[in-house]
């Protein structure tokens, strides 16, 4: 059978773009469809613009701390519009790069929504139909909304970047990393911040990490309300009145609902091709990212395996190797380092203490200290580092850091953990002094009373 393309990719985010251009480089005739902007969630409405806002929000404490180092600083002020203009210009620049990469790779671009008609045919939003030997779905995810009265009064994380003015007060509903990161961002920019969640924060993270972060955010003045559920939001005189199931009411200018994300499969026509999805709507794939239909693959958040940009990129690379380089490659989802850009920042890899204790006899090493940068500044915020070790083998099962530059540190620590380094390997490594990171190789005494 003759096809229009060897590969048709639906979705031009990190995973889809990588798969498209690498496959084209292997000699495939490739096309890609994107209904929104090139770059996907990470570049357009996620990691990149969020991190720029994280940087902006950190300057308030930097200005305060500068005085302790001899700097005379005038009365600071923040200009939301200036930040928005600069941030949006950078996102436009990056989107242009993605487009040029695809064009330079010989990939045909279609600026349309696309849906499957069968396992080899795609219909575009303008009615055009194209055929492909292989179809790759890489449409990512979308914010998932909670269920209560008055949802029309909330915004989701995508909407943050469209706000024309800075809210004077904001409620962040949710205890995941998106809610907490934006809570810290807005607090740093001068907004009064409340966070609420039905349970604890950062479910699935190490308990000491969660406790340390809650203590630090509370000390900064962020109002954390755990164990409550919103039941109704009513708007009065431009303010949102949020009523909780315990009868309490929070009144704020803006409400951010950040209660998780779900695979974006709306209108993809999966049923036309007979593609299997799980109970949460995620496309079910095998170890090589192939669906139950042999000609259709899926990578990234739409498969809900690990919702991280580098994972989607690696899955896209593995797909290209498997399908167009005759080299069956399964993406490695074991031991993935992650960072949470709260303030203080979190870096983590491997098992939490709670997870490790279920299957291992463990030894815990933990230290809490005030980093040097905070001393002259008179800031009491501390850094916490923790190493989880399997006692019989001495292998390091997990490393968890909360503090300045944790994301940078965990990337390096991840190499060692991925190589199955032992605690003795850490101990043999000479410290770099004076740094916070040196604590990772100087913790000698386990926590004897940790159960």
For 234-280, what is each residue's pLDDT tens digit?
A: 999 999 999 999 999 999 999 999 999 999 999 999 999 999 999 99
Q: What is the pLDDT of residues 286-296, one digit of tens each?
A: 999 999 999 99
Q: Which helix (H) or strand (E) holds 245?
A: none
CB distance 325 to 26 below 8 Å? yes
Q: What letters, b where the CB count within 10 A reaches 16 and e where it falls short, cover 417-435?
A: beeebebeebeeeeeeeee
pLDDT value at 451 more than 50: no
DSSP state of 144: P
Q: Say if residue 448's pLDDT is above 70.
A: no
* Tens digits of residue pLDDT in 116-175: 999 999 999 999 999 999 999 999 999 999 999 999 999 999 999 999 999 999 999 999
The architecture of the domain spanning 338-441 is 2-Layer Sandwich (3.30)
Specify the DSSP class assigned to residue 385.
Answer: E
Tokens of 356: 């490790």
DSSP 290: B
Q: Are 265 and 283 in contact (CB under 8 A)?
A: yes
The pTM of the full predicted model, rounded to 2 decimals, is: 0.95
Q: Please give the Cα distance from 293 to 147 (Å, whole number).
A: 34
Residue with tokens 């997870």: 355
Cβ-based neighbour number of residue 233 at 10 Å: 22
Map residue 95 onto helix, strand or coil.
helix
Is the pLDDT confidence value at 1 over 90? no
Q: Averaged over 52-75, what is the pLDDT?
A: 96
Summarised one tens digit per residue, pLDDT across range 5-16 is 999 999 999 999
Q: Give the span between the Cα atoms of 89 and 341, in whole angstroms.
A: 22
pLDDT at residue 56, as a whole number: 98
212, 333, 404, 433: which one is catalytic? 433
Domain ranges of the chain: 5-142+262-324, 151-259, 338-441
Q: Is 77 exposed, middle or buried (0-12, 13-18, 19+ CB in 10 A)?
A: exposed
Asked if 5-142+262-324 and 151-259 have one fold, the answer is: yes
Q: Taking Cα atoms as reference points, which of 263, 401, 256, 278 lies closest to residue 342?
A: 401
- Determine how β-strand 169-173 pairs with β-strand 141-143: unpaired
- Give the integer Cα–Cα distance in Å for 379 and 231: 38
For position 379, what pLDDT does the model report? 97
CA–CA gap between residue 42 and residue 45 (Å, rounded): 6
Beta strands in 16-128 (DSSP E): 30-33, 108-110, 114-118, 121-124
Whether domain 151-259 has CATH 2.40.30.20: the reply is no
Summarised one tens digit per residue, pLDDT across range 184-234 is: 999 999 999 999 999 999 999 999 999 999 999 999 999 999 999 999 999
Distance between CA atoms of 288 and 299, rounded to whole angstroms? Answer: 9
Q: What does the alpha-carbon distance between residue 318 and residue 311 come to, in Å, rounded to a whole number?
A: 10
Question: Which residue, 142, 149, 198, is CA-closest to 174?
Answer: 198
Domain 5-142+262-324 belongs in CATH node 3.50.50.60: yes
Question: Cβ distance 200 to 174 under 8 Å?
Answer: no
Q: Does residue 433 carry a catalytic annotation?
A: yes
Does position 450 have pLDDT exceeding 70, yes or no? no
Cα–Cα separations (whole angstroms), residue 107 to 8, 33, 249? 10, 10, 53
Rounded Cα distance between 58 and 304, Å, is: 32
């Amino acid at each position: 059978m003759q096809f229009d393309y060897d590969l048709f990719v639906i979705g031009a985010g990190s995973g889809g773009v990588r798969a498209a251009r690498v496959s084209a480089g292997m000699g495939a005739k490739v096309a890609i469809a994107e209904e929104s902007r090139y770059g996907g969630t990470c570049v357009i409405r996620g990691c990149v613009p969020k991190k720029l806002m994280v940087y902006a929000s950190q300057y308030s404490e930097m200005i305060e701390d500068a005085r302790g180092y001899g700097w005379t600083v005038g009365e600071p002020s923040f200009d939301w519009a200036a930040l928005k203009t600069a941030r949006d210009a950078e996102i436009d620049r990056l989107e242009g790069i993605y487009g040029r990469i695809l064009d330079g790779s010989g990939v045909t671009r279609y600026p349309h929504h696309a849906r499957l008609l069968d396992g080899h045919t795609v219909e575009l939003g303008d009615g055009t139909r194209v055929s492909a030997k292989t179809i790759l779905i890489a449409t990512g995810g979308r914010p998932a909304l909670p269920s209560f009265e008055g949802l029309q009064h909330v915004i989701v994380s995508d909407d943050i970047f469209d706000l024309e003015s800075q809210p004077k007060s904001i409620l962040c509903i949710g205890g995941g990393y998106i809610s907490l990161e934006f809570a810290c961002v807005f607090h740093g920019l001068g907004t009064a911040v409340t966070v609420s969640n039905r349970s604890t924060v950062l479910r699935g993270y190490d308990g000491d990490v969660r406790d340390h972060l809650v203590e630090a955010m509370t000390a900064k003045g962020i109002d954390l309300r755990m164990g409550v559920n919103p039941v109704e939001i009513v708007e009065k005189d431009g303010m949102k009145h949020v009523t909780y199931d315990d009868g309490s009411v929070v009144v704020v200018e803006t409400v951010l609902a950040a209660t998780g994300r779900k695979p974006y499969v709306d209108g993809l026509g999966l049923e036309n091709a007979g593609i299997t999805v799980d109970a949460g709507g995620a496309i079910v794939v095998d170890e090589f990212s192939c669906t139950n239909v042999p000609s259709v693959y899926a990578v990234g958040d739409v498969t809900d395996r690990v919702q991280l940009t580098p994972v989607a990129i690696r899955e896209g690379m593995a797909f290209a190797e498997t399908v167009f380089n005759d080299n069956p490659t399964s993406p490695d989802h074991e031991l993935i380092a992650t960072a949470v850009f709260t303030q203080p920042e979190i870096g983590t890899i491997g098992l939490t203490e709670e997870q490790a204790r279920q299957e291992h006899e463990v030894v815990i090493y933990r230290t809490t200290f005030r980093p040097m940068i905070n001393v002259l500044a008179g800031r009491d915020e501390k850094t916490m580092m923790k190493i989880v070790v399997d006692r019989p083998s001495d292998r390091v099962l997990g490393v968890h850091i909360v503090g300045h530059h944790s994301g940078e540190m965990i990337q390096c620590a991840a190499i060692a953990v991925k190589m199955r380094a032992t605690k003795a390997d850490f101990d043999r490594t000479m410290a770099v002094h004076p740094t916070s990171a040196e604590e990772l190789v100087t913790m000698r005494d386990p926590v004897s009373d940790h159960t």
